[in-house]
Amino acid sequence: MGRVPGALQQTVDLLHKKLEQLGALKQQGNFSVDCETYHATATASGQPSKLLYVMHNSETPLSCMALFEGGPCLVADANFDVLMIKLKSHFQNAKGHKVECRGWKYRYSDFSIKVGTVTMNSSARGISAEVEYCPCVVPGDCWNLMKEFMQSFLGSNVPELPSVFTVKPEGLFAPSDCIDTMTQYLELFNKLRKLQMPGSNIRV
Amino acid sequence: MEAPPVTVMPVTGGTINMMEYLLQGSVLDQALDSLLHRLRGLCDNMEPETFTDHELVYLLKGQQGNPFILRARRSLSHPTAPWHLRYLGQPEVGDKSRHALVRNCVDVATSHSLPEFLNEMGFRMDHEFVANGHIFRKGAMKVVVTKLSRILVPGNTENIERLSLSYLVELSVLAPAGQDTVSEDMRSFAEQLKPLVHLEKIDPSKQRH
Amino acid sequence: QPLKYKYDSIYKWTWTYNRSPQVLQLISKKRSLSTAAAVLLRGAEKLSKSVAENMENRRQRDFNSELLRLRSQWKLRKVGDKILGDLSYRSAGSLFPHHGTFEVIKNTDIDLDKKVPEDYCPLNVQIPSDLEGSAYIKVSIQKQAPDIGDLGTISLFRRQPKSKAGAQPWHVKLEAAQNVLLCKEIFAQLSREAVQIKSQIPHIVVKNQIISQPFPGLQLSISLCHSSGEKKSQRAAPEKPKADDHLYVLEHNLHQMIREFHKQQLSSVLMPHPATAPFGHKRLRLAGPQAYTKAQISSVQQGQGLLEKIIKQAKHIFLRSRTARTIDSLASRIEDPQIQAHWSNINDVYESSVKVLITSQGYEQICKSIQLQLNIGVEQIRVVHRDGRVVTLSHQEQELQDFLLSQMSQHQVHAVQQLAKVMGWHVLSFSNHVGLGSIESVGNASAVTVASPNGDYAISVRNGPESGCKVLVQFPRNQSKELQKGDVVLDSKWSHLRGPYREVHWSKMEGRNFVYKMELLMAALTPAP
């Protein structure tokens, strides 16, 4: 991880302190989420090449998630990275676009909170906070509970219900999976990429 | 354009450089039972395992060179099992004395959204078929006796037609690059299957039309 | 005398004639004898040749039939001109690296004319040198503290050297070698786990012995005893195992566990679907595509090792013995109330249960309020009361003893309560744990107060595990000499109320146990109508 600007680090520390005040316990080990971007080399038709994002999450160490933004997604095992290397000539890895998010994990009863610093090209660009309500997989059932919990340490920065849940055909009551989590991370990364100034952005 | 050859790749970890060693042969339908009997005796003592799979072969046409081939295979007899995506490289043209066909191999287990995903990546399905038969195991060696069937209506795996009156027999081992004893073991095993079936190294490139 | 001369000459001539025919006869006899002898010799040669051939064929047939018998039970294959066999468990799924190859040797050089020895067999087997002799695994559980002695030593997988009638010598030899191989594999697995597993008190692996301490003060040692060669002169009879049949279950379990491990290797769970996928455990293959979390992955990969299972079993055996010992010592030490233990016949290797009843002799039907179900686990004992309360005790024997003592004390008070109902007395107050009086070091004292049917008398009982019982009787005021008639209370009816208490010398009371004494007391205080 590269140099972290003072303001970002302060916010991260503040969040940590608030969590500890609530009574959350710091867990052993770090978490990390990273995302690599590939774009197809010149296609037959003149369409702009789609971007393929390949993401990893330390919570699911044996898996690789491949996403097309707004398109189909794939969950595969770790050999998918090897396959992408073989596809070098068809899909180029945009090395400058690699995003990483690292941080500590906290546990507060049934909630799992991960506060991380998002870095692109070794420069810190923002903060991510992931809140997971472990007993439930259906967003509709626990969104209100999560919102209330987030208010307790994020104050007024609580986000709205993520769009990834609302755009699903079954709506809020389909069980959520790792792809939804990764989609949200991806949205956050893209948002941060577009921002010129480092700022803090919260995602759930 | 094909993927860079294996020898150029950095040797970091076994998964990057897994090689498939392969010997192939065929038996007529009438000889199947005796072959299965022999295999049952020679291979590891397990319950006989049958399979029914559906394979789709995808091509990605690049600007120059040969198209990139990926094989997506799912089990029809175990629908909840993950899809299997396979890349097979060019056969290594090492020394001619090597008894088995050696080629680089990447195996990926994926979720069930694979066909749509491959389409989005730009791959187009070239052909598909249904394979059913028996699997045997002896240590690290896998013996697969397959009957291939053509799919008459795309997407419909029920309506199939047999391609030939024989079964394809494949003896394969997945091992990291550089293990040469593997092909020796395969050859001695293949000897034990003669004269029921002759397993030999068949170079796929010589059969390209 | 010319006639005489004639005779003489004839006689002479015939004599000479008689002499030469004998020689001729001799020669001709010799010749004929030699022809006959030659014929006989030729015949004998042919006969001996055919007998030798027959013998050879028979030996070969014996060898072949013996070989057939061998083949029906053991795996054989021909390599060049040697016949080799496999006595390892590899075809059953074992991954032990020993080759386990034996060689079949023809043993047909004996002369069938001479007496064939009793144990002659046309076939002999040559087993690998490191599998010779016999081996067994010795498990011993020893405790240093005096309260419970050693739980004993048991030899597992020990086969008797004498063979049953009809068993071929090669079969016996091969089975013994296979037993040695199995013992080695089990021991190798155990020592590997002993080194890898992290436990509070680390296991010690020294050459052929694994020492571990499941509980502080309890030592479990597992050793591999391999005696190569035949030492028939040494202690012929195996040391008599103590009448502790728990450890026989251990042998069965060890065997089962290693076979379970073998079976895993051959399980169809490893076969790939679709067929082109690599070999590997079915659930691990799902881990990637279904995004298993770290917790899910470790739950798929982890299985309890052999050593852990054995240690758990040893702990349970120990805990069970200790519980039994505690209950028995209490039962023999304390006569009133009585403690009964009914052990259940069918137990698990990690869990046993016993039903403990505390009763008073003669009053079993009346006073049966204390019935405890003890579930003895690996490290704890769970006690379930009749009324559903659950108490968890640790492995310390003092805890169980104290608990039972306190239950016994409570029983006495409960007994008074039940007795009162039967006798028609009214229960005025009852408390399982009294907060008054001296503090007991073990548990709490209980107390009950009952009043006679007509209300004249009351009996108060306080019973504690340590302090024993104290019985007081409350008399009506008009019976007590201490109270003086006062000026305030004038009405005579007030003198019928109960007044002061007087203690009963309980030890001097008649009766063989507490409840009997109590019954007598109640009866004495209930006036006849």
Q: Phi and psi at residue C295, in whole multiples of 5°?
A: -65, -40
> Cα(C150)–Cα(C129) distance, rounded to whole angstroms?
36
Strands A111-120 and A123-133: antiparallel
Instruction: Check whether residue C276 and residue C258 sit in a common domain.
Output: yes
Average pLDDT over residues A60-80: 88
pLDDT of the residue at C234? 37
Chains sharing 3 or more CB pairs under 8 A with chain C: A, B
> Cα(B181)–Cα(C498) distance, rounded to whole angstroms?
103
Q: Which of A82, A85, A88, A182 to mutate to test the interface with B (most CBs of B within 10 A)?
A: A82
Interface contact flag, C291 A76, Cβ < 8 Å: no
Report the gap between the CA of B146 and the closest CA in chain C (Å).
Answer: 10
Percent of chain C with pLDDT over 70: 82
Q: For residue C520, is pLDDT > 90? A: yes
Q: For residue B9, is pLDDT > 80? A: no
Q: Phi and psi at residue C124, in whole multiples of 5°?
A: -130, 150
Interface contact flag, B47 C279, Cβ < 8 Å: no
Interface contact flag, C291 A178, Cβ < 8 Å: yes
Q: For residue B14, is pLDDT > 60? A: no
Percent of chain A with pLDDT over 70: 89
Interface contact flag, A63 C291, Cβ < 8 Å: yes
B57 confidence band (pLDDT: 50, 70, 90): very high
Report the gap between the CA of B130 and the closest CA in chain A (Å).
Answer: 23
> Cα(C462)–Cα(C471) distance, rounded to whole angstroms?
7
Of A44, A79, A87, the CB nearest to B15: A79
Of the candidate ranges A190-204, C276-290, C354-368, C487-501, the one whose mean pLDDT is the lowest: A190-204
Of B62, B108, B121, the CB nearest to A76: B108
Of the candidate ranges A93-107, B173-187, C417-431, the one whose mean pLDDT is the lowest: B173-187
Percent of chain C with pLDDT over 90: 25
Q: Phi and psi at residue A182, in whole multiples of 5°?
A: -65, -35
C359 confidence band (pLDDT: 50, 70, 90): very high
More confident residue, A118 or C166: A118
DSSP-derived secondary structure letter, C117: P
Instruction: Check whether residue C12 and residue C125 sit in a common domain.
Output: no
B171 confidence band (pLDDT: 50, 70, 90): very high
Q: For residue C263, is pLDDT > 80? A: no
> Cα(C327)–Cα(C400) distance, rounded to whole angstroms?
9
B129 touches chain A (CB under 8 A): no
Can you give the residue range of the structural domain that contains B143?
20-207
A43 touches chain B (CB under 8 A): yes
Average pLDDT over residues B94-116: 84
Interface contact flag, B44 C91, Cβ < 8 Å: yes
Report the gap between the CA of B23 and the closest CA in chain C (Å).
Answer: 14
Sign of the Cα pseudo-torsion (C179, C181, C182, C186, in order) = positive
Report the gap between the CA of C92 and the closest CA in chain B (Å).
Answer: 7
Residue C320 lies in a domain: yes
Interface contact flag, A52 B121, Cβ < 8 Å: yes
Residue C234 lies in a domain: no
Percentages (nearest 5) of helix, strand, coil residues in chain A: 35, 35, 30
Closest alpha carbon within chain C to B135: C275
Structural domains in chain A, CATH included, are 6-194 (2.40.320)
Q: Which residues of B touch C268 (CB under 8 A)?
A: 46-47, 49
Q: Which residues of C touch A65 (CB under 8 A)?
A: 291
A28 touches chain C (CB under 8 A): no
What ipTM was reported for this prediction?
Answer: 0.81
Of A120, A87, A88, the closest CA to residue A101 belongs to: A120
Instruction: Check whether residue C426 and residue C403 sit in a common domain.
Output: no
Residue type, B107: D
For residue C514, give the 3-state DSSP assignment: helix
For residue C383, give the 3-state DSSP assignment: strand
Instruction: Check whether residue C337 and residue C454 sit in a common domain.
Output: no
Instruction: Check whether residue C112 and residue C255 sit in a common domain.
Output: yes
Residue C93 lies in a domain: yes
> C174-204 as b/e, with b when 16 or more CB fall inside 10 Å?
bbbbbbbbbbbbbbebbbebbeeeeeeeebe
> Cα(B190)–Cα(B169) distance, rounded to whole angstroms?
11
Q: For residue B34, is pLDDT > 50? A: yes
Average pLDDT of chain C is 81
Report the gap between the CA of B49 and the closest CA in chain C (Å).
Answer: 8
Residue B10 lies in a domain: no
**Domain ends where: C291, C315, C339?**
C315
Report the gap between the CA of B44 and the closest CA in chain C (Å).
Answer: 7
Residue type, C300: V
More confident residue, C14 or A107: A107
pLDDT of the residue at B1? 36
Q: Structural domain tally of chain C?
A: 4
A160 touches chain C (CB under 8 A): no
Of B3, B89, B117, the CB nearest to A88: B3
Per residue in A27-52, pLDDT (tens digit) is 888 899 999 998 887 665 656 677 88
Instruction: Check whether residue C55 and residue C114 sit in a common domain.
Output: no
Per residue in A124-142, pLDDT (tens digit) is 888 888 888 888 888 888 8
CB contact at 8 A, C95 and C265:
yes
Interface contact flag, C271 B144, Cβ < 8 Å: no
**Domain ends where: C372, C393, C408?**
C408
C43 confidence band (pLDDT: 50, 70, 90): very high
CB contact at 8 A, B141 and B37:
no
Interface contact flag, A63 C294, Cβ < 8 Å: no
Q: For residue B58, is pLDDT > 60? A: yes
Of the candidate ranges B5-9, C52-56, C285-289, C357-361, the one whose mean pLDDT is the lowest: B5-9
CB contact at 8 A, A129 and A114:
yes
CB contact at 8 A, A123 and A8:
no
Of C128, C156, C153, C160, the closest CA to residue C228 belongs to: C128
Question: Counting beta carbons within 10 angstroms of the beta carbon of residue A20, is it exposed (0 to 12), middle (13 to 18) or buried (19 or more)?
Answer: middle
Residue C290 lies in a domain: yes
Interface contact flag, C292 A62, Cβ < 8 Å: yes
Closest alpha carbon within chain B to A41: B62
Of C286, B18, B118, the closest CA to residue A87 belongs to: B118
Percent of chain B with pLDDT over 90: 33
Of the candidate ranges A94-103, C26-35, C239-248, the one whose mean pLDDT is the lowest: C239-248
Can you give the residue range of the structural domain that contains C348?
316-408
Average pLDDT over residues B152-156: 81
**What is the CA angle C524-C528-C529, rounded to 5?**
155
Residue B54 lies in a domain: yes
B117 touches chain A (CB under 8 A): yes
Report the gap between the CA of B3 and the closest CA in chain A (Å).
Answer: 5
A63 touches chain C (CB under 8 A): yes
Closest alpha carbon within chain B to A39: B121
Interface contact flag, A63 C292, Cβ < 8 Å: yes
Average pLDDT over residues A180-198: 79
Residue type, A81: D
CB contact at 8 A, B90 and B5:
yes
More confident residue, A71 or A53: A53
Residue C238 lies in a domain: no
Q: For residue A200, is pLDDT > 60? A: no
Closest alpha carbon within chain A to C292: A60
Interface contact flag, B144 C275, Cβ < 8 Å: yes
pLDDT of the residue at B206? 61
Residue C239 lies in a domain: no
DSSP-derived secondary structure letter, C380: -
DSSP-derived secondary structure letter, A3: B
Q: Which of A51, A88, A89, A178 to mutate to test the interface with B (most CBs of B within 10 A)?
A: A89
Q: Give the CA count within 13 Å in the CB-facing half-sphere of C272.
A: 23
Q: Structural domain tally of chain B?
A: 1
Q: Which residues of C touch B128 (CB under 8 A)?
A: none
Q: C205 - beta bridge partners?
A: C210
C233 confidence band (pLDDT: 50, 70, 90): very low
B42 touches chain C (CB under 8 A): no
pLDDT of the residue at C417? 93
Per residue in A85-96, pLDDT (tens digit) is 888 888 888 888
Residue B14 lies in a domain: no
> Cα(B184)–Cα(C218) distance, rounded to whole angstroms?
53
Q: For residue C168, is pLDDT > 70? A: yes
Residue C235 lies in a domain: no
pLDDT of the residue at C302? 64
pLDDT of the residue at C72? 86
> Cα(C470)–Cα(C85) distance, rounded to whole angstroms?
81
If one counts every other C-beta atom within 10 angstroms of the C-beta of residue C245, the result is: 9
Q: Which of B17, B111, B112, B114 to mutate to test the interface with A (most CBs of A within 10 A)?
A: B111
A61 touches chain C (CB under 8 A): yes
What CATH number has the domain bearing residue B178? Answer: 2.40.320.10
Instruction: Check whether residue C122 and residue C212 sit in a common domain.
Output: yes
Average pLDDT over residues C288-305: 79
Of B49, B84, B140, the CB nearest to C277: B84
Residue appearing with tokens 């073990």: C442
Report the gap between the CA of B34 and the closest CA in chain A (Å).
Answer: 38
Closest alpha carbon within chain A to B5: A86
More confident residue, C42 or C261: C42
Sign of the Cα pseudo-torsion (C58, C61, C66, C67, in order) = positive
Residue B2 lies in a domain: no
Interface contact flag, B84 C282, Cβ < 8 Å: no
Instruction: Check whether residue C83 and residue C16 sit in a common domain.
Output: no
> Cα(B195)–Cα(B172) distance, rounded to whole angstroms?
19
pLDDT of the residue at C175? 85
Q: For residue C185, is pLDDT > 70? A: yes
Q: Which residues of A touch B119 (CB under 8 A)?
A: 72
Region class of C443: left (phi > 0), else alpha (psi between -120 and 50), else beta = left
Residue appearing with tokens 């004038």: C490
If one counts every other C-beta atom within 10 angstroms of the C-beta of residue B154, the result is: 9
Per residue in C204-232, pLDDT (tens digit) is 888 888 888 877 777 888 888 887 654 43
Q: Phi and psi at residue A198, in whole multiples of 5°?
A: -65, 135
Tokens of C7: 């005779």
Sign of the Cα pseudo-torsion (C247, C252, C255, C259, in order) = negative
Q: For residue C484, is pLDDT > 80? A: no
Sign of the Cα pseudo-torsion (C294, C295, C299, C303, in order) = positive
Closest alpha carbon within chain A to C286: A77
Instruction: Check whether residue C20 and residue C38 sit in a common domain.
Output: yes
Tokens of C222: 């597992």
> Cα(A22)–Cα(A4) distance, rounded to whole angstroms?
26
Instruction: Check whether residue C330 and residue C298 sit in a common domain.
Output: no
**Domain ends where: C376, C408, C440?**
C408
Instruction: Check whether residue C249 and residue C118 sit in a common domain.
Output: yes
Tokens of C203: 């296991």
Tokens of C353: 């249960």
Q: For residue C22, is pLDDT > 50? A: yes
A163 touches chain C (CB under 8 A): no
Per residue in A140-186, pLDDT (tens digit) is 888 888 888 888 888 777 778 787 787 777 777 777 788 888 888 88
Instruction: Check whether residue C305 and residue C453 sit in a common domain.
Output: no
Chain C, residues 269-308, CB within 8 A of chain B, namely 270-279, 282, 285-286, 288-290
